[in-house]
Amino acid sequence: MKQYDIVVIGGGPAGLAAAISAKKAGVSDLLILERDATLGGILNQCIHNGFGLHTFKEELTGPEYAARFIEQVKEMEVPYKLGAMVLSISPEKVITYMSKTEGLVQISAKAIVLAMGCRERPRGALNIPGFRPAGIYSAGTAQRLMNIEGYSVGKEVVILGSGDIGLIMARRMTLEGANVKVVAELMPYSGGLKRNIVQCLNDFNIPLKLSHTVVGIDGKDRITGVTIAEVDANRQPIPGTEIHYDCDTLLLSCGLIPENELTREIGVEMNRVTSGPNVDDKLQTGAPGVFACGNVLHVHDLVDHVSSEAALAGENAAAYVLAENQTEKTHKVTLKAENGVRYTVPQTIDVENMRDSVTVRFRVADIYHNRAISVYYDGQKITSRKKRVLAPGEMEQVVLKKSSFAEYPDLKEIVICTEEV
């Protein structure tokens, strides 16, 4: 069995950035396994612009952003395999993958970086009543069919869910001549970025109906229409508010779920809020030498954040292999999300062996105005930063400095919360 120092699972934005930084950190014996026919992952179908404002200080399209990283991978001669689908990862870090050219292969790794990304919540998970005709797609599937495979997908369109992919597809289908009739959103606010609401819906006078959901699907072979209705505070449809739309296509943009089948098999502790593994400040999962980054860890809003997080995971995987940081003494502190903060990544920090600072990322539970994001060390307030607005659709972060822990030798718990000001 061939052994590698580091194997990166997934060749999307997270996997590419992780591999590049691992190589830069001095590990050359590494491999990226990608199941698709090209590197770049989901960016290949995200042909709209707006990527890379943080990383490159310019607005790129998805394929252009991916190409910047793919070029680096090729220049630095980072080995990768395409069409290689990982089937399992054992707790002993043996990876089994299938490829058209090699068949079933087993390799082992000293360190693994999980970068498998996420997938869309499918219709089956939404409990929409009605028939199961053709013409119902997740927004990302429609995006791939249209932007890569060249199909027109549909002409009369209703979209359920106002996630960013749904908003982007509302504009995309409109530009291609389709009539997007309405975007229905179950929640009283959109989970998408403001810019996308304005430039994808308002620009084309596409109505966004908040607190609405699909209550019926018509059509046996092909969808012929949907019925939407307003929902009450408990998200239950209100009788009498039904509106019917004739349509030949229904797109679903109802959330993303980290793709962690492989992670679970390793047997690491998972997080119920993020649906990703719990990690420490090195982005290391419960299994030593197994790191996670990008959307497989928690769903991000911007790819720039994925790239920087993944670069850190790659660097830490390299350090693990090169056995720097090998100290007996550890001091593990638990991070707790409270009062409107839904989760934190990482979930623990080893304050003894951490870098100079650690970026803690999180999302909030609702739209809040004029609240502070506060940090407590064992009940004592350390920082508090006032924010005029907080929204679930936008990831937030706080940076904790190693020096700030010096006065807390017995620290057990860090709480990150929102507070009224």
Partner 1 sequence: METKNLTCIGCPMGCSLTVSIDGENITVAGNTCPVGANYAKKEVTNPTRVVTSSVRVNGADIARVSVKTACDIPKNKIFDCMKEISAVEMTAPVCIGDVVIENCAGTGVAVIATKNVPCAG
Output DSSP code: residue 202.
G
Based on its alpha-carbon atoms, the radius of gyration of the chain, rounded to whole angstroms, reads 22
Q: Which amino acid is at 61?
A: T
Quick one: 97 or 368, whose CB is closer to partner 1? 368
> Nearest CA to 109 among 72, 79, 136?
79
What are the distances in angstroms from CA 27 to CA 178, 312, 401?
49, 14, 27
Measured from the CB atom, the residue of 85 and 198 that comes closer to partner 1 is 198
Determine which helix (DSSP H) or strand (DSSP E) holds 306, and give its type and residue range: helix 303-321
**Cβ atoms 88, 266 nearer than 8 A:** no
Q: Which of 328, 388, 403, 420 binds partner 1 (CB under 8 A)?
A: 388
The residue from 96, 199, 308, 383 that contacts partner 1 (CB under 8 A) is: 199
Please give the Cα distance from 301 to 364 (Å, whole number).
Answer: 13
Whether the CB-CB separation of 104 and 98 falls below 8 Å is answered with yes
Q: Does residue 304 belong to the site contacting partner 1 (CB under 8 A)? A: no
Query: What is the closest distance, in whole angstroms, from the C-beta atom of residue 397 to partner 1 in the complex?
Result: 14
Nearer to partner 1, 50 or 258 (CB): 50
Shortest Cβ distance from residue 180 to partner 1 (Å)?
14
CA distance 143 to 272: 29
Q: Are strands 225-230 and 243-246 parallel, antiparallel or unpaired?
A: antiparallel
Confirm or reject binding of residue 366 to partner 1 (CB under 8 A): no
Q: For residues 166 and 314, which CB has a smaller minimum distance to partner 1 in the complex?
A: 166
Stretch (H or E) spanning 262: helix 261-266
Q: Whose Cβ is closer to partner 1: residue 125's or residue 421's?
A: 421
Q: Which is nearer to partner 1, 304 or 394 (CB)?
A: 394
- The interface region with partner 1, picked from 78-86, 144-152, 289-297, 351-359 by CB under 8 A, is 144-152
Can you tell me the distance from the alpha carbon of 375 to that of 378, in angstroms, rounded to the nearest whole number?
10
| 28, 202, 236, 397: residue in contact with partner 1 (rule CB under 8 A) | 202
> Does 421 help bind partner 1 (rule: CB under 8 A)?
no
Counted residue by residue, the chain has a size of 421
Token couple for 361? 């990322």
The one-character DSSP state at 341 is B
CB of 202 to partner 1, least distance (A): 7
Using CB under 8 A as the binding rule, whether residue 146 contacts partner 1 is answered as yes
- Does 195 bind partner 1 (CB under 8 A)? Our answer is yes
179 binds partner 1 (CB under 8 A): no
Nearer to partner 1, 69 or 377 (CB): 69
Distance CA 275, CA 297 (A): 8
* Candidate ranges 55-63, 89-97, 109-117, 228-236; the one touching partner 1 (CB under 8 A): 55-63
Write down the least CB distance from residue 38 to partner 1, Å: 8
50 vs 346 by CB, closer to partner 1 = 50
Q: In this complex, which beta carbon is closest to partner 1, that of residue 48 or of residue 305?
A: 48
Q: What is the DSSP letter of 391?
A: -
Write the burial class of residue 408 (CB in 10 Å: 0-12 exposed, 13-18 middle, 19+ buried). Answer: middle
49, 72, 227, 353: residue in contact with partner 1 (rule CB under 8 A): 49
Among candidate residues 254, 362, 366, the one with its CA nearest the CA of residue 309: 362
Binding-site size for partner 1 (CB under 8 A) equals 34
Phi, psi of 11 (to 5 degrees): -115, 30
Distance in Å, CB of 304 to partner 1, minimum: 15
Kindly tell me which residue out of 85, 125, 134, 148 binds partner 1, with binding defined by CB under 8 A. 148
Q: Does 197 bind partner 1 (CB under 8 A)?
A: yes
If one counts every other C-beta atom within 10 angstroms of the C-beta of residue 219, the result is 20
Q: Which of residues 254-293 bind partner 1 (CB under 8 A)?
A: none
The contact set with partner 1 (CB under 8 A) reads 37, 44, 47-49, 59-64, 67, 146-150, 172, 175-176, 193-195, 197-199, 202-203, 388-391, 393-394
